[in-house]
Structure 1
Amino acid sequence: MSSTARQVSDVNILDSAVLPAPEYLCRELPRSAETANFVASAREAIHKILFGDDQRLLVIVGPCSIHDPEAGLEYARKLVKLKEELQDRLYIVMRVYFEKPRTTVGWKGLIMDPDLDGSCNLPKGLKTARQFLNDVLSLNLATATELLDPITPQYISDLICWSAVGARTTESQTHRQMASGLSMPLGFKNATSGDTTVAINAIRAASQSQTFLGISHQGLASALTTRGNPNCHLILRGGNGLTNYDEKSIHSATEALQKNGLLPCIMVDCSHDNSGKDPNKQPDVMQSVTRQAVQPESPIMGVMLESNLIGGNQAFPRPLDELTYGQSITDGCVGWDATEETLRKTYAALKERF
């Protein structure tokens, strides 16, 4: 009988590449003092909109995902001009989404696959993401992203002003624990089924102190203990083919938050099931939400819009030289002209709120 031990570890692992420590990447691409001050001020402004006395509407707007940094920066330069014009009623934050949860398989975002060819050059992806965030912030434009992998925040969270946990991960204990230690305001989306209970439970969990496994800034496995994040809120995105931005749904969500001892603070995602996954319907959803937001004591403090230079989306994967510049390779988006028109209409409608 052979005494050779059979392999029981890494049976299905093909490769293992060590990533640079977060500290190394942050030193290579540091944030300036001006950027740090801007991020801190943006987080404070968002907090006041969520839970304070700032009556402006928080608008998280931008591409479904960033796949071309050049096109993303062109979008950012357009958006910052609109932000400055409308800033007395709207607080505009750009979506800079680098990680994409997939129902089965597909492109997982710029961090995972920056070359869009399946090579999964993670060191390059993390570097590209950090550089892009620095570039957007240098325009004095606040940043928003969905944090999917619990290790990612150590590399980029100092450059994020607002973040989200998506519908597929809101029920995840790992993501609730991660959220409890994040330094920025964060929204939890309702489940893909449309259930808001899991998101409300997530808010409660993330507001409490947690201890969990993570990595240090030096890249070492660590037991992290948090104080809890007091700036978490609910995002309604519809679910199971149904919308949940109507008055009845908003009222139901408000009651559920209050029953759980939480402040009624709600953002509406105008995309996904709330638009029937038709990007052209997002402006109509936003108009409906704005009409509710101007009502006295409305719990609606923010909206989310998926927008890009070119409307719609394009099939991917495909040869990179065939990609349409400025058009999404993930979810369909509203084009720039429609985005500008929608935000101006929202600005005008909010006159009643002030």
Structure 2
Amino acid sequence: MGMKLNKELPLPANLKNEYPLSREIISLKERRDREIRDIFTGKSDKFVVVVGPCSADNEDSVCEYLSRLSRVNEKLSERLMIIPRVYTNKPRTTGEGYKGMLHQPQPDKAPDLLAGIIAIRRLHIRAIEVSGMTCADEMLYPENRSYLDDLLSYEAIGARSVENQQHRLTASGMDIPVGMKNPTSGDFVVMLNSVIAAQKSHNFIYRGCDVTTGGNDLAHVILRGGVDKYGTCIPNYHYEDLVRLLEMYEKLDLQNRAVIVDANHSNSNKKYKEQIRIVSEVLHSRGYNPELKRLIKGVMIESYLEEGNQPIGERHVYGKSITDPCLGWDDTERLLYKIAENC
């Protein structure tokens, strides 16, 4: 095989023993998980906001961002369920570029996966400690989620992974909400098929074991826009798109119908400031149509300390994205208050 074995990585159970959770974190996660479940099952009318950097590239700047977010959460928690976006795995369309903290704990240094799995566990623990909130991450590698499964309260499956069998089956064994993004083509059928698969029980191989899952009744969809065959972005957050999704959902025998609208990516054509307008339009659609209000459970926003993005290099700006461009903090804070007023 054309594959070189670099080093054997520790089992998730061993890493968890080395970096254990406090009783306070365990209790906090149980409470947050219950609150989030109540939103997706319709028992609570809080509005979900998954918000944070495109990529969690630096522990200190991410935690500074989360400490600011925590202060806003204290004032808005009656209306919003803020779930910090702490994405430590990054998909790359061509396989090139920064793949996240899991691969490169230091973005300007060579990949080190052993250091990476330690770094992402330490980051998520510290994130909870500084913010009092459990977080979201992307399930890029299904078998790697075992390093973080006791910490996360929300997971997303990306546009490039949503058709993958192992992602779908692994999602069926999770006990937290998992959002299935529409593929890069924008296809709703593929996205909904993923939800169908994730809500069912399956028997398959996971981390070398024969496992059976119970099905995840909190699996739902995330609209992130699509790209046509010419490379043109096609948004899918407009009222007509949401009604079409509702009609398709109603024809399926699925539990806890829900959608999160991703305001960036192909919905904004990566024009990060457009997220403010897009969120406002989604809230308007939700307020106009009672059925959409029940369906649309929240939004996803890419945001960091500093707006925009930057290349990896010597002139590094602290708290500025090194992947997709993000809203800056001031715009984010204003937007969160606006969401709380209008959701």
Shorter-normalised TM range = over 0.9
Q: Give the root-mean-square deviation of aligned CA atoms.
A: 1.2
Report the CA distance between 1:224 and its aligned residue: 2.0
Is 2:89 aligned against 1:99? yes
Q: Distance in 1 between matches of 2:124 and 2:160?
A: 25
Aligned to 1:236: 223
Q: Which residue is 2:299 aligned to?
A: 303
Q: Which has the larger radius of gyration?
A: 1
Q: Is the contact between residue 210 and residue 228 of structure 1 (CA under 8 Å) also seen in structure 2?
A: yes
Give, in angstroms, the shift of residue 278 of structure 1.
0.4
Offset from partner CA, 1:209-240 (integer Å, 9 cap, x none): 1122222xxxxx21222111111111111101
Moved more, 71-80 or 147-156: 147-156
1:248 aligns with 2:240: yes
CA distance in structure 2 between the aligned counterparts of 1:15 and 1:264, rounded to whole angstroms:
44
| Residue of structure 1 in register with 2:331 after alignment | 338
Distance, in Å, in 1 between the alignment partners of 2:262 and 2:31 is 24
Whether contact under 8 Å (1:60, 1:303) holds in the other structure is: yes
CA distance in 2, matches of 1:338, 1:147: 28
Q: Which amino acid aligns with 1:302?
A: G
CA offset digits 1:308-349 (Å, max 9, x no partner): 000000013x23xx2110000011100000001111111112
Stretches of structure 2 lacking an aligned partner (at least 5 in a row): 228-232
1:155 aligns with 2:147: yes
**Percent identity, aligned pairs only?**
37
The aligned counterpart of 1:15 is: 5
User: Is the Cα contact below 8 Å between 1:64 and 1:97 reproduced in 2?
Assistant: yes
Q: Find the residue that maps to 2:332 and give its secondary structure.
A: helix
Residue 157 of structure 1 aligns to a residue in which SS? coil
Relative to 1, partners in 2 of residues 1:333 and 1:150: Cα closer, same or farther, differing over 3 Å?
A: same
Which residue number in structure 2 is paired with residue 3 of structure 1? none
Local SS of the residue matching 1:285: helix
Superposed structure 1 runs of 4+ greater than 4 Å apart:
none
Give the Å deviation of 1:13.
1.3
Name the count of aligned residue pairs.
Answer: 332
Match of 1:6 in 2: none
Which amino acid counterpart does residue 89 of structure 2 have in structure 1?
A: E
The alignment status of 1:176 with 2:168, answered yes or no, reads yes
Matches within 5 A, 1:1-354: 10=1, 12-104=2-94, 105-117=96-108, 119-138=110-129, 139-215=131-207, 221-240=208-227, 241-262=233-254, 263-295=256-288, 296-297=290-291, 298=293, 299-316=295-312, 318-319=313-314, 322-350=315-343
* Counterpart secondary structure, 1:264: coil
3-state DSSP class of the match of 1:282? Answer: helix
Q: Do the aligned partners of 1:110 and 1:125 also contact (CA within 8 Å) in 2?
A: yes
| Mapped partners of 2:196, 2:142: distance in 1 | 19
Quote how far apart the aligned CAs of 1:118 are: 5.1
Aligned to 1:26, what secondary structure does the other structure show? helix
Amino acid at match of 1:156: L
Give the AA of the match of 2:271: D
TM-score (norm 2): 0.94
Q: Deviations over 1:233-272 (max 9, x none)?
A: 1111110111111111000011111111224311100001
Counterpart residue type for residue 112 of structure 2: N
**Stretches of structure 1 lacking an aligned partner (at least 5 in a row):** 1-9, 216-220
Letter in 1 for 2:68: K
Is the 1:293–1:301 contact (alpha carbons within 8 Å) kept by the matching residues of 2?
no
2:299 alignment partner, SS class? strand
SS at match of 2:49: strand
Q: Secondary structure of 1:151's match? A: helix
Instruction: Give the distance between the partners of 2:279 and 2:112, measured in 1 at CA.
Output: 37
3-state SS of 1:91 partner: strand
